[in-house]
Protein backbone atom coordinates (compact mmCIF):
# COMPACT_ATOMS: atom_id res chain seq x y z
CA UNK A 1 0.00 0.00 0.00
CA UNK A 2 1.30 3.39 -0.98
CA UNK A 3 0.86 6.34 1.54
CA UNK A 4 0.80 9.96 0.38
CA UNK A 5 3.73 12.14 1.43
CA UNK A 6 3.36 13.90 4.84
CA UNK A 7 3.05 17.32 3.24
CA UNK A 8 0.05 16.02 1.31
CA UNK A 9 -1.45 14.12 4.27
CA UNK A 10 -4.68 15.92 5.29
CA UNK A 11 -4.54 14.60 8.89
CA UNK A 12 -1.01 15.88 9.49
CA UNK A 13 -1.71 19.18 7.76
CA UNK A 14 -4.85 19.67 9.82
CA UNK A 15 -2.96 18.90 13.02
CA UNK A 16 -0.33 21.50 12.24
CA UNK A 17 -2.99 24.08 11.50
CA UNK A 18 -4.77 23.32 14.80
CA UNK A 19 -1.50 23.59 16.74
CA UNK A 20 -0.70 26.97 15.21
CA UNK A 21 -4.21 28.28 15.79
CA UNK A 22 -4.17 27.03 19.40
CA UNK A 23 -0.83 28.69 20.07
CA UNK A 24 -2.04 31.96 18.57
CA UNK A 25 -5.25 31.85 20.60
CA UNK A 26 -3.32 31.14 23.83
CA UNK A 27 -0.85 33.94 23.08
CA UNK A 28 -3.53 36.50 22.32
CA UNK A 29 -5.51 35.38 25.38
CA UNK A 30 -2.47 36.17 27.58
CA UNK A 31 -1.53 39.25 25.57
CA UNK A 32 -3.35 41.74 27.86
CA UNK A 33 -1.58 40.26 30.89
CA UNK A 34 1.75 40.28 29.09
CA UNK A 35 1.24 43.94 28.20
CA UNK A 36 0.25 44.76 31.81
CA UNK A 37 3.25 42.82 33.14
CA UNK A 38 5.53 44.81 30.83
CA UNK A 39 4.00 48.10 31.96
CA UNK A 40 4.20 47.12 35.66
CA UNK A 41 7.79 46.03 35.33
CA UNK A 42 9.05 49.19 33.66
CA UNK A 43 6.55 51.96 34.41
CA UNK A 44 5.01 51.20 37.85
CA UNK A 45 6.67 51.25 41.28
CA UNK A 46 5.41 48.23 43.21
CA UNK A 47 5.74 48.43 47.00
CA UNK A 48 4.99 45.49 49.30
CA UNK A 49 4.82 45.80 53.10
CA UNK A 50 4.39 42.67 55.22
CA UNK A 51 2.73 42.71 58.62
CA UNK A 52 5.90 41.52 60.37
CA UNK A 53 7.54 44.83 59.51
CA UNK A 54 7.10 47.92 61.67
CA UNK A 55 6.13 49.93 58.60
CA UNK A 56 2.87 47.95 58.42
CA UNK A 57 1.64 49.70 61.57
CA UNK A 58 2.68 53.08 60.19
CA UNK A 59 0.77 52.38 56.99
CA UNK A 60 -2.39 51.46 58.90
CA UNK A 61 -2.50 54.79 60.75
CA UNK A 62 -1.74 56.73 57.58
CA UNK A 63 -4.44 54.94 55.57
CA UNK A 64 -7.00 55.48 58.32
CA UNK A 65 -6.68 59.18 57.63
CA UNK A 66 -6.04 59.00 53.87
CA UNK A 67 -8.95 56.67 53.02
CA UNK A 68 -11.35 57.81 55.72
CA UNK A 69 -14.31 57.75 53.32
CA UNK A 70 -14.15 54.08 52.45
CA UNK A 71 -17.03 51.95 53.77
CA UNK A 72 -15.06 48.69 53.87
CA UNK A 73 -13.21 49.03 57.16
CA UNK A 74 -11.58 47.16 59.99
CA UNK A 75 -11.12 48.57 63.48
CA UNK A 76 -7.71 49.42 64.94
CA UNK A 77 -7.39 50.80 68.47
CA UNK A 78 -4.36 52.71 69.67
CA UNK A 79 -3.92 53.88 73.22
CA UNK A 80 -2.75 57.45 73.48
CA UNK A 81 0.33 58.54 75.38
CA UNK A 82 0.21 59.67 79.01
CA UNK A 83 -1.36 63.07 79.28
CA UNK A 84 0.90 65.97 78.49
CA UNK A 85 0.20 69.18 80.44
CA UNK A 86 1.18 71.16 77.34
CA UNK A 87 -1.24 69.23 75.13
CA UNK A 88 -3.51 71.73 73.39
CA UNK A 89 -5.66 69.08 71.71
CA UNK A 90 -9.29 70.13 71.22
CA UNK A 91 -10.50 66.86 72.73
CA UNK A 92 -11.90 67.08 76.29
CA UNK A 93 -9.22 66.29 78.86
CA UNK A 94 -11.15 63.31 80.24
CA UNK A 95 -11.00 61.60 76.80
CA UNK A 96 -7.35 62.16 75.97
CA UNK A 97 -6.00 59.01 77.61
CA UNK A 98 -8.66 56.64 76.27
CA UNK A 99 -7.83 54.32 73.34
CA UNK A 100 -8.32 56.03 70.01
CA UNK A 101 -10.41 54.20 67.39
CA UNK A 102 -9.12 54.16 63.82
CA UNK A 103 -11.04 52.82 60.82
CA UNK A 104 -8.49 51.10 58.61
CA UNK A 105 -9.34 49.89 55.07
CA UNK A 106 -10.30 46.21 55.23
CA UNK A 107 -9.10 43.45 52.93
CA UNK A 108 -9.64 44.53 49.33
CA UNK A 109 -8.43 46.91 46.62
CA UNK A 110 -8.49 50.70 46.84
CA UNK A 111 -7.51 53.65 44.65
CA UNK A 112 -6.21 57.11 45.50
CA UNK A 113 -3.76 59.73 44.28
CA UNK A 114 -0.46 60.62 45.90
CA UNK A 115 1.47 63.69 44.79
CA UNK A 116 -0.48 63.72 41.55
CA UNK A 117 0.18 60.03 40.77
CA UNK A 118 -2.45 57.30 40.57
CA UNK A 119 -1.99 54.62 43.25
CA UNK A 120 -3.69 51.26 43.77
CA UNK A 121 -3.65 49.60 47.18
CA UNK A 122 -4.33 45.92 47.87
CA UNK A 123 -4.69 44.60 51.38
CA UNK A 124 -4.37 40.82 51.39
CA UNK A 125 -4.81 38.24 54.15
CA UNK A 126 -3.92 34.59 54.15
CA UNK A 127 -3.34 31.81 56.65
CA UNK A 128 0.08 30.38 57.26
CA UNK A 129 0.55 27.20 59.26
CA UNK A 130 3.56 26.51 61.40
CA UNK A 131 4.77 24.12 64.05
CA UNK A 132 5.95 25.23 67.45
CA UNK A 133 6.83 23.43 70.65
CA UNK A 134 4.20 23.64 73.34
CA UNK A 135 4.96 23.87 77.04
CA UNK A 136 4.30 20.12 77.34
CA UNK A 137 7.01 19.37 74.82
CA UNK A 138 4.61 18.18 72.12
CA UNK A 139 4.46 19.93 68.77
CA UNK A 140 1.25 21.73 68.04
CA UNK A 141 0.00 23.46 64.96
CA UNK A 142 -0.48 27.19 65.10
CA UNK A 143 -2.37 29.12 62.45
CA UNK A 144 -1.82 32.82 62.20
CA UNK A 145 -3.38 35.19 59.72
CA UNK A 146 -0.69 36.97 57.73
CA UNK A 147 -1.37 40.25 56.02
CA UNK A 148 0.34 42.54 53.55
CA UNK A 149 -0.12 45.85 51.79
CA UNK A 150 0.77 46.06 48.11
CA UNK A 151 0.90 49.52 46.56
CA UNK A 152 1.38 50.27 42.89
CA UNK A 153 2.41 53.83 42.08
CA UNK A 154 2.04 54.70 38.42
CA UNK A 155 5.43 56.31 38.14
CA UNK A 156 9.04 55.32 37.53
CA UNK A 157 10.24 57.49 40.42
CA UNK A 158 11.12 55.24 43.38
CA UNK A 159 11.58 58.30 45.57
CA UNK A 160 7.78 58.59 45.67
CA UNK A 161 7.62 55.25 47.47
CA UNK A 162 10.25 56.38 49.96
CA UNK A 163 8.43 59.67 50.54
CA UNK A 164 5.16 57.82 51.11
CA UNK A 165 6.69 55.47 53.71
CA UNK A 166 8.46 58.37 55.43
CA UNK A 167 5.15 60.24 55.59
CA UNK A 168 3.57 57.17 57.21
CA UNK A 169 6.42 57.06 59.73
CA UNK A 170 5.98 60.72 60.62
CA UNK A 171 2.29 60.09 61.17
CA UNK A 172 2.91 57.15 63.52
CA UNK A 173 6.13 58.40 65.14
CA UNK A 174 6.20 62.19 65.14
CA UNK A 175 9.38 64.06 66.00
CA UNK A 176 8.40 64.77 69.61
CA UNK A 177 11.59 63.52 71.32
CA UNK A 178 9.82 60.53 72.84
CA UNK A 179 11.48 57.15 73.34
CA UNK A 180 10.15 54.22 71.33
CA UNK A 181 9.58 51.07 73.39
CA UNK A 182 9.20 48.06 71.09
CA UNK A 183 8.01 44.66 72.22
CA UNK A 184 8.33 41.23 70.65
CA UNK A 185 5.24 39.94 68.84
CA UNK A 186 5.65 36.54 67.17
CA UNK A 187 8.72 36.98 64.98
CA UNK A 188 8.64 40.77 64.69
CA UNK A 189 8.92 43.91 66.77
CA UNK A 190 5.87 46.08 67.29
CA UNK A 191 5.68 49.54 68.79
CA UNK A 192 4.47 49.05 72.34
CA UNK A 193 4.47 52.65 73.55
CA UNK A 194 6.28 55.94 73.27
CA UNK A 195 7.34 57.67 76.48
CA UNK A 196 8.96 60.95 77.28
CA UNK A 197 12.65 60.52 78.13
CA UNK A 198 13.37 60.52 81.82
CA UNK A 199 15.93 63.04 83.03
CA UNK A 200 19.13 61.37 84.12
CA UNK A 201 19.14 63.39 87.34
CA UNK A 202 15.73 61.99 88.29
CA UNK A 203 17.21 58.48 88.67
CA UNK A 204 19.18 58.72 91.89
CA UNK A 205 21.76 55.95 92.10
CA UNK A 206 24.56 55.54 94.59
CA UNK A 207 27.44 57.95 94.03
CA UNK A 208 27.99 58.71 90.34
CA UNK A 209 26.84 55.32 89.01
CA UNK A 210 24.49 56.95 86.50
CA UNK A 211 27.19 59.23 85.12
CA UNK A 212 29.74 56.43 84.87
CA UNK A 213 27.25 54.18 83.10
CA UNK A 214 26.38 56.93 80.61
CA UNK A 215 30.07 57.65 79.96
CA UNK A 216 30.77 53.97 79.30
CA UNK A 217 27.88 53.71 76.81
CA UNK A 218 28.98 56.86 74.99
CA UNK A 219 32.55 55.54 74.77
CA UNK A 220 31.25 52.29 73.28
CA UNK A 221 29.12 54.02 70.67
CA UNK A 222 32.08 56.15 69.61
CA UNK A 223 34.49 53.19 69.30
CA UNK A 224 33.15 51.26 66.31
CA UNK A 225 36.34 51.66 64.28
CA UNK A 226 38.51 50.65 67.22
CA UNK A 227 36.53 47.45 67.76
CA UNK A 228 36.86 46.52 64.10
CA UNK A 229 40.59 47.31 63.99
CA UNK A 230 41.26 45.17 67.05
CA UNK A 231 39.03 42.38 65.78
CA UNK A 232 36.61 42.34 68.72
CA UNK A 233 32.85 41.92 68.09
CA UNK A 234 31.28 45.36 68.29
CA UNK A 235 28.75 44.86 71.06
CA UNK A 236 28.61 45.54 74.77
CA UNK A 237 26.56 43.95 77.51
CA UNK A 238 25.49 45.34 80.87
CA UNK A 239 24.14 43.49 83.89
CA UNK A 240 22.12 45.53 86.39
CA UNK A 241 21.43 43.58 89.55
CA UNK A 242 20.05 44.29 92.99
CA UNK A 243 16.80 44.33 95.01
CA UNK A 244 13.64 45.45 93.22
CA UNK A 245 12.52 49.05 93.31
CA UNK A 246 15.90 50.74 93.05
CA UNK A 247 15.87 52.01 89.46
CA UNK A 248 17.22 49.27 87.18
CA UNK A 249 14.54 49.79 84.55
CA UNK A 250 14.37 53.55 85.15
CA UNK A 251 18.07 54.02 84.43
CA UNK A 252 17.68 52.16 81.12
CA UNK A 253 14.95 54.60 80.06
CA UNK A 254 17.09 57.52 81.15
CA UNK A 255 20.06 56.21 79.16
CA UNK A 256 17.86 55.75 76.09
CA UNK A 257 16.76 59.35 76.37
CA UNK A 258 20.30 60.66 76.81
CA UNK A 259 21.59 58.64 73.85
CA UNK A 260 18.49 59.09 71.66
CA UNK A 261 18.04 55.33 71.27
CA UNK A 262 15.03 53.03 71.08
CA UNK A 263 14.48 50.23 73.60
CA UNK A 264 13.64 46.71 72.40
CA UNK A 265 12.06 44.73 75.25
CA UNK A 266 12.25 40.93 75.08
CA UNK A 267 10.53 38.79 77.72
CA UNK A 268 12.34 35.45 77.81
CA UNK A 269 9.87 33.96 80.26
CA UNK A 270 7.29 33.57 77.48
CA UNK A 271 6.72 29.77 77.32
CA UNK A 272 6.08 29.86 73.56
CA UNK A 273 9.33 31.56 72.66
CA UNK A 274 11.89 29.42 70.81
CA UNK A 275 15.53 29.50 69.73
CA UNK A 276 14.62 30.39 66.14
CA UNK A 277 12.27 33.15 67.23
CA UNK A 278 14.86 34.72 69.53
CA UNK A 279 17.47 34.59 66.77
CA UNK A 280 15.06 36.22 64.32
CA UNK A 281 14.11 38.93 66.79
CA UNK A 282 17.65 39.79 67.80
CA UNK A 283 18.76 39.87 64.17
CA UNK A 284 16.13 42.57 63.53
CA UNK A 285 17.33 44.86 66.32
CA UNK A 286 19.01 47.77 64.49
CA UNK A 287 22.35 49.28 65.39
CA UNK A 288 22.51 51.94 68.09
CA UNK A 289 19.57 50.44 69.96
CA UNK A 290 19.18 49.07 73.47
CA UNK A 291 18.06 45.46 73.80
CA UNK A 292 16.54 45.01 77.26
CA UNK A 293 16.24 41.54 78.80
CA UNK A 294 14.35 42.18 82.02
CA UNK A 295 14.35 39.78 85.00
CA UNK A 296 16.53 37.31 83.17
CA UNK A 297 16.59 35.07 86.24
CA UNK A 298 12.89 34.39 85.61
CA UNK A 299 13.77 32.72 82.30
CA UNK A 300 16.66 30.45 83.28
CA UNK A 301 18.02 29.23 86.59
CA UNK A 302 21.23 27.29 86.18
CA UNK A 303 20.47 26.44 82.55
CA UNK A 304 16.93 25.22 83.37
CA UNK A 305 13.69 26.92 82.45
CA UNK A 306 12.58 28.85 85.52
CA UNK A 307 8.96 27.82 84.93
CA UNK A 308 9.87 24.18 85.34
CA UNK A 309 8.40 23.38 81.92
CA UNK A 310 10.12 22.45 78.72
CA UNK A 311 9.90 25.36 76.33
CA UNK A 312 11.18 26.07 72.89
CA UNK A 313 14.00 28.32 74.14
CA UNK A 314 17.14 26.58 75.34
CA UNK A 315 19.99 28.02 77.35
CA UNK A 316 22.48 27.39 74.56
CA UNK A 317 20.09 29.00 72.08
CA UNK A 318 19.95 32.13 74.24
CA UNK A 319 23.75 32.33 74.47
CA UNK A 320 24.14 31.91 70.70
CA UNK A 321 21.55 34.62 70.07
CA UNK A 322 23.39 37.06 72.33
CA UNK A 323 26.93 36.59 71.04
CA UNK A 324 26.99 33.69 68.61
CA UNK A 325 28.45 33.61 65.11
CA UNK A 326 25.30 35.03 63.53
CA UNK A 327 24.47 37.57 66.26
CA UNK A 328 24.19 41.20 65.21
CA UNK A 329 26.61 43.93 66.30
CA UNK A 330 26.49 47.63 67.10
CA UNK A 331 23.90 47.41 69.85
CA UNK A 332 23.78 47.58 73.63
CA UNK A 333 22.38 44.62 75.57
CA UNK A 334 21.12 45.28 79.10
CA UNK A 335 20.12 42.43 81.38
CA UNK A 336 18.41 43.02 84.72
CA UNK A 337 17.95 40.63 87.62
CA UNK A 338 16.93 40.73 91.26
CA UNK A 339 18.95 37.58 92.02
CA UNK A 340 22.39 37.50 90.45
CA UNK A 341 23.23 34.36 92.44
CA UNK A 342 20.67 32.41 90.41
CA UNK A 343 22.32 33.11 87.07
CA UNK A 344 24.66 30.70 85.37
CA UNK A 345 28.25 32.02 85.13
CA UNK A 346 28.22 31.36 81.37
CA UNK A 347 25.46 33.94 80.93
CA UNK A 348 27.19 36.75 82.81
CA UNK A 349 30.81 36.16 81.85
CA UNK A 350 32.84 39.01 80.26
CA UNK A 351 31.82 39.37 76.64
CA UNK A 352 28.16 38.87 77.52
CA UNK A 353 28.02 41.06 80.60
CA UNK A 354 31.00 43.37 80.16
CA UNK A 355 29.83 45.73 82.91
CA UNK A 356 28.15 44.65 86.13
CA UNK A 357 26.42 47.35 88.12
CA UNK A 358 25.03 46.62 91.58
CA UNK A 359 22.02 48.84 92.29
CA UNK A 360 21.21 48.33 95.95
CA UNK A 361 18.81 49.80 98.46
CA UNK A 362 18.99 53.46 99.38
CA UNK A 363 22.01 54.93 101.14
CA UNK A 364 21.85 58.02 103.33
CA UNK A 365 23.29 60.08 100.47
CA UNK A 366 20.59 58.86 98.10
CA UNK A 367 17.92 59.65 100.70
CA UNK A 368 19.32 63.19 101.02
CA UNK A 369 19.37 63.76 97.26
CA UNK A 370 15.85 62.36 96.87
CA UNK A 371 14.57 64.67 99.62
CA UNK A 372 16.21 67.66 97.94
CA UNK A 373 14.56 66.72 94.66
CA UNK A 374 11.12 66.59 96.26
CA UNK A 375 11.60 69.74 98.35
CA UNK A 376 14.25 71.91 96.66
CA UNK A 377 13.17 74.95 98.68
CA UNK A 378 13.67 73.16 102.03
CA UNK A 379 17.12 71.69 101.65
CA UNK A 380 17.92 72.39 105.28
CA UNK A 381 15.91 69.31 106.26
CA UNK A 382 17.58 66.99 103.74
CA UNK A 383 20.76 66.08 105.62
CA UNK A 384 18.98 65.47 108.92
CA UNK A 385 16.33 63.44 107.11
CA UNK A 386 19.05 61.27 105.59
CA UNK A 387 20.62 60.66 109.00
CA UNK A 388 17.35 59.09 110.14
CA UNK A 389 17.33 56.64 107.21
CA UNK A 390 19.28 53.44 107.81
CA UNK A 391 21.68 52.57 104.97
CA UNK A 392 20.49 49.68 102.81
CA UNK A 393 17.21 49.11 104.66
CA UNK A 394 14.69 50.67 102.31
CA UNK A 395 14.39 50.66 98.54
CA UNK A 396 14.34 53.91 96.63
CA UNK A 397 10.79 53.11 95.56
CA UNK A 398 9.74 52.91 99.23
CA UNK A 399 11.34 56.27 100.05
CA UNK A 400 9.83 57.87 96.97
CA UNK A 401 6.41 56.49 97.85
CA UNK A 402 6.77 57.89 101.36
CA UNK A 403 7.80 61.36 100.20
CA UNK A 404 4.97 61.48 97.69
CA UNK A 405 2.52 61.29 100.58
CA UNK A 406 4.01 64.54 101.91
CA UNK A 407 4.05 66.62 98.76
CA UNK A 408 4.21 70.24 99.79
CA UNK A 409 4.95 69.37 103.43
CA UNK A 410 8.71 69.06 103.84
CA UNK A 411 8.52 69.51 107.60
CA UNK A 412 5.95 66.73 107.94
CA UNK A 413 8.10 64.41 105.82
CA UNK A 414 11.09 65.15 108.05
CA UNK A 415 9.16 64.65 111.29
CA UNK A 416 7.84 61.28 110.16
CA UNK A 417 11.15 59.96 108.83
CA UNK A 418 11.76 57.72 111.83
CA UNK A 419 8.58 55.80 111.00
CA UNK A 420 9.60 54.91 107.45
CA UNK A 421 9.37 51.14 107.20
CA UNK A 422 7.51 50.70 110.48
CA UNK A 423 5.00 48.48 108.68
CA UNK A 424 7.68 46.33 107.05
CA UNK A 425 11.24 46.46 105.74
CA UNK A 426 10.24 48.08 102.43
CA UNK A 427 6.85 49.69 103.14
CA UNK A 428 6.52 53.37 103.95
CA UNK A 429 3.52 54.72 105.86
CA UNK A 430 1.10 56.49 103.57
CA UNK A 431 0.06 59.90 104.74
CA UNK A 432 -3.16 61.15 103.20
CA UNK A 433 -3.48 64.84 102.48
CA UNK A 434 -7.15 65.78 102.95
CA UNK A 435 -6.73 68.68 100.54
CA UNK A 436 -6.47 66.12 97.73
CA UNK A 437 -8.33 63.10 99.15
CA UNK A 438 -11.35 64.65 100.88
CA UNK A 439 -13.41 62.09 102.77
CA UNK A 440 -10.70 59.41 102.72
CA UNK A 441 -8.76 60.24 105.88
CA UNK A 442 -7.81 63.14 108.04
CA UNK A 443 -4.49 64.88 107.59
CA UNK A 444 -1.79 63.14 109.59
CA UNK A 445 -3.51 59.74 109.77
CA UNK A 446 -1.97 56.63 108.28
CA UNK A 447 -3.53 53.95 106.16
CA UNK A 448 -3.78 50.73 108.14
CA UNK A 449 -4.25 52.36 111.54
Note down pLDDT in tens along the chain; length 449 residues: 555 554 565 665 656 666 777 776 666 666 677 776 777 788 889 999 998 888 898 999 999 999 988 888 888 887 655 444 444 444 454 555 677 888 999 999 999 999 999 999 999 988 765 444 444 444 444 556 789 999 999 998 999 999 999 999 998 888 888 888 998 877 788 888 888 888 888 899 998 999 999 999 999 999 999 999 998 889 899 999 999 989 999 999 999 999 999 999 988 877 778 888 888 888 888 888 999 998 888 877 666 665 555 557 888 888 888 887 767 788 899 999 998 988 888 888 888 899 999 999 999 999 999 999 999 888 888 888 888 888 888 889 888 888 888 888 888 888 877 666 544 443 434 433 333 332 333 233 333 33
Q: How far is CA 113 from CA 36, 43, 72, 109, 224, in A?
A: 20, 16, 18, 14, 44
In the three-class reduction of DSSP (H, G, I as helix; E, B as strand; rest coil), residue 3 is classed as coil
> Can you tell me the distance from the alpha carbon of 395 to that of 208, in angstroms, rounded to the nearest whole number?
18
Instruction: Say if residue 111 is exposed, middle or buried (CB neighbours under 10 Å; 0-12, 13-18, 19+).
Output: exposed
The pLDDT value given to residue 137 = 43
Residue 8 neighbours by CB distance under 10 Å = 9
> Can you tell me the distance from the alpha carbon of 247 to that of 250, in angstroms, rounded to the nearest whole number?
5
What is the topology classification, in CATH, of domain 195-358? Rossmann fold (3.40.50)
Number of helices (H), then strands (E), belonging to the chain: the values are 12, 15
Strands 300-301 and 304-305: antiparallel
Question: Which of 99, 100, 107, 125 is closest to 70 using CA atoms?
Answer: 107
> Can you tell me the distance from the alpha carbon of 336 to that of 239, in angstroms, rounded to the nearest whole number?
6
Q: What are phi and psi of 270, to 5 degrees?
A: -60, 120
Bridge partner list, 123: 108, 149
Residue 78 neighbours by CB distance under 10 Å = 14
Taking the domains of the chain in order of start, what are their residue ranges? 45-80+100-175, 195-358
> Can you tell me the distance from the alpha carbon of 122 to that of 49, in angstroms, rounded to the nearest whole number?
11
| Torsion of the alpha carbons at 237, 243, 246 and 247, rounded to the nearest 10 | 30
Contact partners, residue 75, CB within 8 Å, separation at least 6: 101, 102, 103, 104
The pLDDT value given to residue 225 = 92
Q: How far is CA 145 from CA 52, 124, 129, 140, 192, in A?
A: 11, 10, 9, 16, 20
Angle (CA) 418-420-425 rounded to 5° is: 125
Q: What is the DSSP string of 134-161?
A: -TTS-EEEEEEEEEEEEEEESSS-THHH
Bridge partner list, 357: 240
In the three-class reduction of DSSP (H, G, I as helix; E, B as strand; rest coil), residue 352 is classed as coil
Q: What are phi and psi of 36, to 5 degrees?
A: -65, -40
pTM to 2 decimal places: 0.74
Element containing residue 292 per DSSP (H, E):
strand 290-293
Amino acid sequence: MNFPPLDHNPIVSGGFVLMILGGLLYYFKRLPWLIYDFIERFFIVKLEILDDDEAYQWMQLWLAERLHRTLSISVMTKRSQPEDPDDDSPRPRRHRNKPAIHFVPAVGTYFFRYQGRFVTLSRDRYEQSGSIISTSGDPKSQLRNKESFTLRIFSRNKDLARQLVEECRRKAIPDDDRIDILVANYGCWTLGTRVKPRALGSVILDGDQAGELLADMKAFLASADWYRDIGIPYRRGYLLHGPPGNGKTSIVKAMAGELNMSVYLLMLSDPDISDNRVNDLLAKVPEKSILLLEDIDCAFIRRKRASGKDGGLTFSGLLNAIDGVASAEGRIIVMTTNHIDRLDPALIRPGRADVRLSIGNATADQARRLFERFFPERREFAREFAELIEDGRHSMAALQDYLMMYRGDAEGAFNGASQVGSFGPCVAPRRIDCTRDIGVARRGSYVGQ
